[in-house]
Amino acid sequence: MAEEYLGIKDAAKYLKVSISTLRRWEKKGLITPMRTAGNRRRYTVRQLDDMLGLNTQKELGAVARRGLVIGYCRVSSSGQKADLERQAEVVANYCEKQGYQFRIIKDIGSGMNYKKKGLQELLRLVCEGGCSKIVVNYKDRLVRFGYELIETVCEEHNVDIEIINQTNDISYEEELTEDVLAIITVFSAKLYGKRSHRNEQIVAENRKLFSKDDKKETKDSN
């Protein structure tokens, strides 16, 4: 019976891991693919089945595919605690319907603050192999900017990110305004000094500008 060979993409799908994880295992000497004349990787099904064996899984320290799922929920301020609870309920209901073994992490802070207690706990679980998947209601609940970096870290540790709603989260437009104003404030303070009159003027003018835009949008929608 002829041996079946798979390319790296199909091999990763067979093992249910990312391509980068498969390459990392190769660097560690855990699996060695054959190479074609064009230097492309080829894996035998027997090799891949060996990787799925219990002893190999322990050696890799891989997270069980049926392992813990983390539902991550975030709002920007303590005044939005009611929204946080509703968000947590949506995520919990989704995880229950999917049959996940899950835990909810609630966080309060700006989407641009990467030192939030909940986010740091989440990343620690990812890096230490403490979860197999992250579930968020909207993409920006994880982070406002730098999502791709978080995604790359998760891929390297064989953790999936599942987003319940792929549409834009209209209810958080006010949060986005505050985040943009925070960026302006930081850069203005660096240019003119935190306590300078020019810095205060720029921040006040931009806050007023955003306020006018919000009122205009509200008027146009009515």
Any idea which residues carry the catalytic annotation? 76
Which H/E stretch holds residue 75? strand 69-75
Contact indicator for 133, 160 with CB cutoff of 8 Å: yes
Specify which residues 74 forms β-bridges with: 107
Provide the b/e sequence for 36-71 (b: ≥16 CB within 10 Å). Answer: eeeeebbbeeebbeebeeeeeeeebebbeeeeebbb
**Entry field: residues in the chain:** 222
CA–CA gap between residue 56 and residue 50 (Å, rounded): 7
Specify which residues 42 forms β-bridges with: 34
Closest of 105, 127, 126, 132 to residue 116, by C-alpha: 105
Contact indicator for 76, 108 with CB cutoff of 8 Å: yes
Burial tier of 180 (Cβ tally within 10 Å: 0-12, 13-18, 19+):
middle
Contact indicator for 162, 139 with CB cutoff of 8 Å: no
